[in-house]
């Protein structure tokens, strides 16, 4: 497949420059000729590629030239029927895929710990979600995946469902058995949509999970900027099968993405595909070795526990080797650890009460892993002499999600509401939430924007507060007051 060594869009941009073109079109900087003088050194080489839909450079919203060729090479590489480049991140792809499969009042089965763009897509569609409770990893308290059994059960209760939407892997690299979920969805004749934003590198190397498309998903959205080499906001969407109306999907992609898409970003998606083809295996082998080295260093550590592919459990059926979730057993919070590491020049992906997440990528070097191992060991030794309080593994698991699924009986139609107001939590019963209420741990939204407060939910939140849970996504983190729609 020697054509996979090409990068049609990137090459078309270089070809255009060879003509020494005069630009009487946007952008205004005219290939960097007019730009900030101080910032010129950083920007000048990329601004030469910052073009628009002129002759020879095709049009993302109606591709017939190099963008079309680049997308076809991507589909061929992935094994999808069709691939679309995304310039508004996985966000734009998620919004478009949701509205492709449902409209006002339609029931959609959806994993509750989804990215906000999935929830936003459901709100924009006016759909009626049936939320699936994710499994909780007993070792870390992290909300992980859903299983085929739960999906089947939900579909028996809601045979009118139009689609199943899952997130796999989650932020921490924990994934679900998509093959089983796909079988359940297709048995009912409905499509499986996968937010695979964190899994752009899947399906290439045997030590890594298979991709959603390989497992039969109808649509998968992947951020090529996260685990590939694209510029940030570069992503792609893969589609296969007869259950997706591609004309509707293509129209929605036009709706949610700029009519002036960035050529540097699009070309970097093209280059990311070539990178995966040419160097993906080597990068993933190197990454696996580095990650392994890291995990072995803390295998029996009294302070840190690192979820690993060897220790998969019922909460997830696969884990991304490149996601190093550092679960802190005692003495330190994730926030403190992150700050300590930062002081040593090491910047982490995220921290929460009990975790710090480190993400490896194509640009990670072995020396950096060694520095991280060393620094964590030093901090562990220092912490020994301070407080010895055990961190709770997780709380609230018994309160949240007694039910494996939960239906929202009215469409999420926020357009009916005119504004927001704050009111005491205890009086919120019956009101529509204007904010997401995310108790942490385990980080699963107990209420999304557009959902109604019930006496049970108010009671749940009060209990969670008592147990010491913190709340994300809210205006008032004490939750004395909550924001509702008016």
Contact flags string 375-404 toward a copy of itself, x per CB under 8 A: ------------------------------
Whole-angstrom CA distances from 238 to 204, 214, 319 are: 15, 11, 22
Task: Output the smallest distance, CB 343 to a copy of itself, in A.
Answer: 10
If binding is defined by CB under 8 A, does position 45 make contact with a copy of itself?
yes
- Check if the beta carbon of residue 178 is closer than 8 Å to that of residue 215: yes
Of 103-122, which residues contact a copy of itself (CB under 8 A)?
Answer: 103-104, 115-117, 120
Distance CA 48, CA 32 (A): 6
DSSP 230: P
- Give the residue, chosen from 156, 255, 384, 467, that forms a contact with a copy of itself under the rule CB under 8 A: 255
Nearest to a copy of itself of 342, 454 (CB atom): 342
Strand partners, 83: 238
- Give the residue, chosen from 82, 225, 303, 327, that forms a contact with a copy of itself under the rule CB under 8 A: 225
Of 138-197, which residues contact a copy of itself (CB under 8 A)?
Answer: none
If binding is defined by CB under 8 A, does position 477 make contact with a copy of itself?
no
Buried b / exposed e over 70-82, threshold 16 CB at 10 Å, is bbebbbebbebeb
- Give the residue, chosen from 289, 333, 361, 377, that forms a contact with a copy of itself under the rule CB under 8 A: 361
Task: Output the smallest distance, CB 435 to a copy of itself, in A.
Answer: 9
Phi and psi at residue 202, to the nearest 5°:
-80, 155
- Check if the beta carbon of residue 43 is closer than 8 Å to that of residue 35: yes
Of 3-22, which residues contact a copy of itself (CB under 8 A)?
Answer: 7, 10, 19-22
| Residues comprising the chain, all counted | 486
- Check if the beta carbon of residue 269 is closer than 8 Å to that of residue 237: no
If binding is defined by CB under 8 A, does position 84 make contact with a copy of itself?
no
Nearest to a copy of itself of 136, 332 (CB atom): 332
Task: Output the smallest distance, CB 274 to a copy of itself, in A.
Answer: 6
DSSP 447: B
| Residue the block writes with tokens 């960035």 | 262
Binders of a copy of itself: how many residues, by CB under 8 A?
115
Buried b / exposed e over 132-171, threshold 16 CB at 10 Å, is bbbbbbebbbbbbbbbbebbbebbeebeebbbbbbbbbbb
Task: Output the smallest distance, CB 206 to a copy of itself, in A.
Answer: 20
- Check if the beta carbon of residue 432 is closer than 8 Å to that of residue 413: no
Of 201-220, which residues contact a copy of itself (CB under 8 A)?
Answer: 201
Per-residue DSSP letters for 90-159? HHHHHHHHHHHH--TT-EEEEESS--HHHHHHHHHHT-EEEEEPPPB-TTT--B----HHHHHHHHHH-T
- Give the residue, chosen from 158, 368, 458, 470, that forms a contact with a copy of itself under the rule CB under 8 A: 368
Distance CA 99, CA 101 (A): 5
Nearest to a copy of itself of 242, 398 (CB atom): 242
Task: Output the smallest distance, CB 403 to a copy of itself, in A.
Answer: 28
Nearest to a copy of itself of 211, 257 (CB atom): 257
If binding is defined by CB under 8 A, does position 481 make contact with a copy of itself?
no
Tell me which stretch binds a copy of itself (CB under 8 A): 34-42, 142-150, 205-213, 402-410. 34-42
Of 291-320, which residues contact a copy of itself (CB under 8 A)?
Answer: none
Contact flags string 414-443 toward a copy of itself, x per CB under 8 A: -xxxxxx-----------------------
Q: H/E element holding 305?
A: strand 304-305
Contact flags string 271-290 toward a copy of itself, x per CB under 8 A: x--xx-------x-------
Nearest to a copy of itself of 222, 308 (CB atom): 222
Nearest to a copy of itself of 362, 442 (CB atom): 362
Tell me whether residue 419 is exposed, middle or buried, using C-beta atoms within 10 angstroms of its C-beta: 0 to 12, 13 to 18, 19 or more.
exposed
């Amino acid at each position: 497949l020697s054509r996979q060594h090409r990068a049609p869009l990137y090459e078309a941009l270089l070809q255009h420059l060879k003509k020494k073109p005069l630009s009487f079109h946007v952008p205004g900087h005219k290939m960097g000729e007019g730009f900030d003088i101080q910032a010129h050194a950083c920007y000048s080489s990329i601004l030469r590629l910052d073009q628009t839909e002129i002759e020879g450079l095709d049009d993302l919203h109606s591709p017939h030239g190099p963008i079309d060729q680049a997308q076809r090479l991507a589909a061929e590489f992935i094994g999808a029927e069709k691939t679309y480049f995304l310039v508004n991140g996985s966000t734009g792809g998620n919004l478009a895929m949701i509205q492709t499969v449902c409209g006002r009042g339609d029931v959609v089965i959806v994993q509750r710990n989804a990215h906000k763009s999935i929830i936003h897509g459901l709100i924009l569609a006016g759909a009626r979600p049936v939320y699936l409770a994710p499994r909780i990893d007993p070792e870390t308290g992290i909300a992980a995946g859903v299983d085929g059994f739960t999906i089947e059960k939900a579909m028996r209760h809601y045979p009118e469902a139009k689609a199943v939407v899952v997130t796999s892997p989650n932020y921490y690299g924990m994934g679900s058995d998509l093959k089983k979920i796909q079988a359940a969805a297709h048995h009912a004749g409905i499509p499986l949509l996968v937010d695979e934003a964190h899994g752009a590198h899947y399906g290439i190397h045997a030590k890594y999970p298979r991709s959603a498309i390989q497992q039969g998903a109808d649509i998968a959205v992947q951020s090529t900027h996260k685990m590939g080499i694209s510029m940030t906001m570069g992503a792609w969407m893969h589609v296969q099968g007869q259950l997706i109306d591609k004309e509707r999907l293509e129209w929605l992609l036009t709706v949610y993405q700029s009519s002036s898409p960035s050529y540097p970003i699009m070309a970097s998606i093209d280059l990311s595909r070539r990178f995966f083809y040419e160097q993906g295996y080597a990068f993933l082998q190197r990454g696996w070795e580095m990650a392994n080295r890291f995990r072995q260093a803390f295998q029996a550590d009294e302070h840190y526990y690192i979820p690993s592919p060897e220790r998969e459990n019922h909460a997830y059926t696969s884990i991304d080797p490149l996601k190093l979730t550092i679960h802190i057993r005692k003495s330190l919070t994730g926030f403190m650890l992150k700050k300590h590491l930062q002081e040593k020049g090491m910047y982490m992906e995220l921290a929460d009460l009990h975790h710090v997440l480190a993400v490896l990528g194509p640009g990670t070097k072995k020396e950096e892993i060694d520095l991280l191992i060393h620094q964590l060991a030093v901090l562990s030794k220092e912490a020994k002499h301070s407080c010895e309080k055990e961190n709770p593994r997780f709380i609230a698991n018994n309160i949240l999600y007694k039910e494996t699924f939960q239906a929202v009986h009215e469409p999420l139609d926020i357009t009916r509401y005119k504004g927001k107001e704050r009111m005491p939590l205890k009086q919120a019963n019956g009101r529509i939430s204007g904010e997401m209420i995310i108790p942490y741990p385990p980080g699963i939204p107990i209420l999304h924007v557009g959902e109604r407060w019930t006496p049970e939910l108010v009671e749940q939140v009060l209990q969670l507060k008592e147990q010491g849970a913190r709340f994300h996504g809210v205006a008032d983190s004490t939750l004395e007051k909550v924001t509702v729609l008016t």
